[in-house]
Amino acid sequence: MNITDLSLWGLVRMFIPQALLSIKGQVLPFLKSLQSVLNVIVLPSNVPLNEVKQQQTGNTYIEVCADCILTRGETYSLKTEEEDLKKIQQMITPEHVQFDCHYGPNYHPTFQLFLDADTKDLELRLLKRGVDGEEVWTRRIRLPGAVLLEGDEAETSQRGPAKNMHSVRTEFVNRVSLPVLDCLLDNLLQRKVCNQLEMEKVKVIPERAEKAREVIDMVLNKGDNACSIMKTLLVELDPFFFQTLDFR
């Protein structure tokens, strides 16, 4: 028995026919442009899509077969296919959500996925009662080109990774934490964006803002590919901080 069955609602639900608890639902994915963040909104099927889109201004709706059957008061998790697990699974938040059939007037993301910049497509699965639960919805989705910001694909972006990175320079300097900066430097060295001498020169700077300024300026001076790598690393190291950066 799942531990949630021991709650008051769980005990009451045991005596309610399943047909009365089940409703038609929909799973709506929206990509936050240039931020590599996928918002997944789980709602009853009678919520108009256009109403949700109005609150996702600037985000791209990814058309999928959204229909599914949901259960009132049930707990759900969003998972990816096995081959995507290492790159994405740890970047899905929250881990699980209890479905509430009440909705509006605001449509906040039910789940958020923080993706690598080179993610092209992935399979999403909505599971009832956690990772080993019943699968109620699964789709493979292809992401729009805005998330492909590394290597040759970066050249198709109108602004380019360096200009996008420059647009968040002030925010980055003002808000990035010291632990993230130190991890970022280690990873930039590992990815050969900087050399050992450059990393050590920046690491000894005691003041956080000055260190942040040196890091982002160093990467900007190295061009588009370096900026794409740094953007990917920021998603991996601190997805919540990355989301606050207003890439344009």
Per domain, the residue ranges of the chain are 21-147, 151-244
Tell me which residue of 176, 198, 62, 172 sits closest to 164, measured CA to CA.
Answer: 172
Confidence band of 130 (pLDDT split at 50, 70, 90): low
Instruction: Decide: 138 and 126 in contact? Cβ < 8 Å.
Output: yes
Fold classification of 151-244 (topology level): Death Domain, Fas (1.10.533)
Residue 246 tokens read as 């207003």
- The dotted CATH code for 21-147 is 2.60.40.2660
Please say if the pLDDT value at position 93 is more than 70: yes
Mean pLDDT, rounded, of the chain: 80
pTM of this structure: 0.54
Same fold, 21-147 and 151-244: no
Cα(48)–Cα(65) distance, integer angstroms = 15
Res. 76 pLDDT band, cuts 50 70 90: very high
Tell me the pLDDT tens digit for each residue of 160-212. 888 889 989 998 999 999 999 999 999 999 999 999 999 999 999 999 999 99
Comparing 41-50, 96-105, 111-120, the range with the smallest average pLDDT is: 111-120
Q: Where are the extended beta strands (E) located within 50-209?
A: 59-61, 67-71, 75-80, 92-93, 97-98, 111-114, 121-128, 134-142
Tell the burial category of 174 from Cβ atoms under 10 Å away from its Cβ (0-12, 13-18, 19+): exposed
Alpha-carbon distance of 184 to 129, in angstroms, equals 36
SS3 107: coil
Please say if the pLDDT value at position 17 is more than 60: no
pLDDT at 21: 64
Residue 153: pLDDT band with limits 50, 70, 90: very low
At residue 123 the predicted structure's pLDDT band, cuts being 50, 70 and 90, is confident
